[in-house]
Amino acid sequence: MSAIIMDGKALAAKTKEGIRAEVAKLQRKPGLAVVLVGDNGASQVYVRNKVKDCSECDIACYDYYLPQESTLEELLALIGELNGREDVDGILVQLPLPAQIPEKPVLEAIAPEKDVDAFHPDNMGRLLRGDAIYQPCTPSGVMEMLKEYHIDPAGKHCVVVGRSNIVGKPMALLLLQENGTVTVCHSRTPDLKEQCLQADILVAAVGREKLITADMVKEGAVVIDVAMNRNAAGKLCGDVDFPAVAEKAACITPVPGGVGPMTRAMLMKNTLTAAQRRQKA
């Protein structure tokens, strides 16, 4: 069997077209502030892509670049200013931050109504409770992909590999909300292979090349690869051994061109939501 390759790039393009049409109905152009601290190469690429997405959706993008040696106080001062700005609906601080800046006070400083990443404890709590205003972009992008391909988590055994706050944990919550039976695996799971073999829907979100090999995947499973790694040759790859797993899976996401573009589209969607809510308020 050869799997259906889930085209995140095409779905993201379609999603962004829809967002642009909704943006056109607003009285004022939505605005997204993107803050990058330091010179992490991967983050620079991500931020450049977000700026491009904004322009495609007709969302104003205010990008800020702070030096590597910036302090927590300097970053908090910028966030405070952005929280108060009328033309800024959403604020995103690109992670990871330089080592001297702790993450928690930064994420807690972003006004929850402008927190389009949904990393603020208020928004994480809402997600846990099942009444999120903003869903974190990567897991919500995965849910949109499943919907597009008519894959309903209800009654399925979903295995999420990885327990990060930004992907693994919220991914498990969203699958649970859609009535999946969810197992979360992580670095201390002793029988990862056996757990993965139980999965009807397998989500890999660890960041280790070839973590998921074909012998770990049930025939006919749906395999979602959230990771973005570079292999020894410098090529982008996920956690899944794609060619071999594609022979066994029913559906699989590629890297690149799978979850990544959908993550970015969901950021645009959250920014639209923020602007719509402010217009109503």
Interface contacts to ligand GUN, rule CB under 6 A: 92-95, 117, 137-138, 166
Q: Is 50 a catalytic residue?
A: yes
In angstroms, give the least distance from the CB of 52 to ligand GUN. 16
Q: Is 135 a catalytic residue?
A: no
Cα 130 versus chain centre, distance: 18
Q: Active-site residue among 16, 50, 169, 218?
A: 50
In angstroms, give the least distance from the CB of 48 to ligand GUN. 14
Q: Is 94 a catalytic residue?
A: yes
In angstroms, give the least distance from the CB of 47 to ligand GUN. 9
Closer to ligand GUN by Cβ: residue 19 or 246? 19
N-term to C-term CA, the chain: 52
The whole-angstrom separation of Cα 181 and Cα 117 is 26
Q: Active-site residue among 7, 89, 117, 239?
A: 117
The whole-angstrom separation of Cα 189 and Cα 169 is 15
- To 10 degrees, what angle do helices 121-129 and 168-177 make? 30
In angstroms, give the least distance from the CB of 133 to ligand GUN. 17
In angstroms, give the least distance from the CB of 53 to ligand GUN. 13
Closer to ligand GUN by Cβ: residue 166 or 223? 166
Residue 36 three-state SS: strand
Closer to ligand GUN by Cβ: residue 19 or 251? 19
DSSP state of 43: H
| Closest alpha carbon to 126 in 279, 270, 280 | 270
Q: Active-site residue among 7, 53, 89, 94?
A: 94
**Which residue is at the shortest CB distance from ligand GUN?**
95
The whole-angstrom separation of Cα 52 and Cα 54 is 5
Cα 22 versus chain centre, distance: 21
Closer to ligand GUN by Cβ: residue 32 or 146? 32
Closer to ligand GUN by Cβ: residue 7 or 117? 117
Residue with token string 């749906």: 222
Catalytic residues: 50, 94, 117
